Amino acid sequence: MTAHSSPRAATASRWFRPGRMLAWVLLVVSATAAILPLYWMATGSLKRQSDAMKTPPEWFPQEPTLANYKKLFGGEEGQAWSGRRPALRWLVNSLLVASTIAISAVLTSALAGYALGKLRFRGRALVFWLVVATMMLPRQVSLIPLYLLVVKFDWMDSYPGMIAPYLCFPFGIFLVRQFMMQLPDELLAAARIDGAGPWRVFWHIVLPMSRPALGAVAIFSFMGAWNEYLWQLIVTNRPEMYTLPVGVSKLVSTLTAFDLGLAMAGATVAFVPMLAVFVLFQRYFVQGVSVGALKG
């Protein structure tokens, strides 16, 4: 009994050292700064304007109301979006754009990752180098040429214009390639001796084993597309074509007064679907983030 209590006392005293205390303060402050804005957003969306502007602030909404959501989805007389329910349209746009991009990213990354990870052909190293280089470079640099391209194709305010630049996902190719490289070559060689061509090896052996990597690609491309802002801001002018982030940001800039509740309701609607995806597929997020770092 006493033999157990003495190391426990030692650890207890360690908790109260100044260094430890400082570390704990930092941990709690950073976690609060990370989470509190989201709490403030969700609860703010349930407040009336007068309650939202109270000082001291209402930490918990005293009289929660869904009025902001009704306004967001139902429209209001005299507003630019009245009667057309654009928030619902923004949600549909976001879902459509993000899922198309995610499906395309998974397909193209699976095929290209297999070629770069498991097939031998001339030019492979060069292609892989190009993929890594473009993965590191900022997308913003290609913004202007992409815009000119979209104007030329007459793709402004259209789904092709919103989707096309993201059909291929260089990080996804990298991730799948790193994953597939680790699969044992013996397995593939055995199948090849049995007469299976590269396609059958890919379809029957490599693809089923690569599910974790493909899950990570699906999620990262979906999240990237869901939260993409600058590009969608540039290619959409008509409110019906906005995605959620663009539409939500315009809620503020087009109104003269800052309608806090409405803005927070919009932000919440943009956040909740992505949160659901994150909670359901958290495992893949962790895998995907670490693959790039530890195997690169």
Partner 1 sequence: MSSVASSAMKSPQRISGWLFLLPAGIPFAAFVVWPLVHGVALSFFDVQLRGTEFIGWENYRRLLDDETFWSAVKNTCKFVLLVVPIVWGLSLGISALVYPMGRFARAFFRFAFYVPVVAGGVCLAMVWMWIFNGQYGLLNYLTGELLGVEADWLGRTDTALPSLAAVVVTWSLGQPIIIFLAALGGIPPELHEAARIDGAGAIRRFWHVTLPLLRPASLFVLVTQTIGVFQVFVVILLLTVNGGPANATRTVVYGMYETAFTPMYDFDYAAAQGSLLLVALGTIAVVQFRLLGRQTTMD
Q: Which CB, 3 or 294, lies closer to partner 1?
A: 294
User: What number of other Cβ atoms are within 10 A of residue 3's Cβ?
Assistant: 6
Half-sphere exposure of 203 (CA within 13 A, CB side): 5
Give residues 61-100 in contact with partner 1 (rule: CB under 8 A): none
Which of 69, 81, 90, 114 binds partner 1 (CB under 8 A)? It is: 114
Question: From CA 214, how far away is CA 274, in angstroms rounded?
Answer: 18
Burial of 241 (0-12, 13-18, 19+ CB in 10 A): buried
Helix boundaries (H) for 45-169: 49-52, 67-74, 86-118, 124-136, 143-152, 159-163
Give residues 162-191 in contact with partner 1 (rule: CB under 8 A): 164-168, 170, 173
Q: Which CB, 2 or 222, lies closer to partner 1?
A: 222
Question: From CA 45, how far away is CA 35, in angstroms rounded?
Answer: 16
> What's the closest the beta carbon of residue 158 comes to partner 1, in angstroms?
15
Q: Which CB, 1 or 208, lies closer to partner 1?
A: 208
Q: Which CB, 3 or 257, lies closer to partner 1?
A: 257
Question: From CA 201, how far away is CA 217, in angstroms rounded?
Answer: 21
Question: From CA 86, how far away is CA 103, in angstroms rounded?
Answer: 25
Burial of 162 (0-12, 13-18, 19+ CB in 10 A): buried
Residue 245 in contact with partner 1, rule: CB under 8 A: yes
Residue 52 in contact with partner 1, rule: CB under 8 A: yes
Which of 30, 62, 182, 254 binds partner 1 (CB under 8 A)? It is: 30
Which of 81, 226, 242, 284 binds partner 1 (CB under 8 A)? It is: 226
> What's the closest the beta carbon of residue 94 comes to partner 1, in angstroms?
11
Please work out the total of residues on this chain that contact partner 1, with binding judged by CB under 8 A: 98
Residue 151 in contact with partner 1, rule: CB under 8 A: no
Q: Which CB, 23 or 181, lies closer to partner 1?
A: 23
Helix (H, G, I), strand (E, B) or coil at 296: coil
> What's the closest the beta carbon of residue 210 comes to partner 1, in angstroms?
13
**DSSP per-residue codes, 259-288:** -HHHHHHHHHHHHHHHHHHHHHTHHHHHHH
Stretch that binds partner 1, among 2-10, 62-70, 71-79, 227-235 (CB under 8 A): 227-235
Give residues 246-285 in contact with partner 1 (rule: CB under 8 A): 248-249, 252, 258, 260, 263-264, 266-268, 270-271, 274-275, 277-278, 282, 285
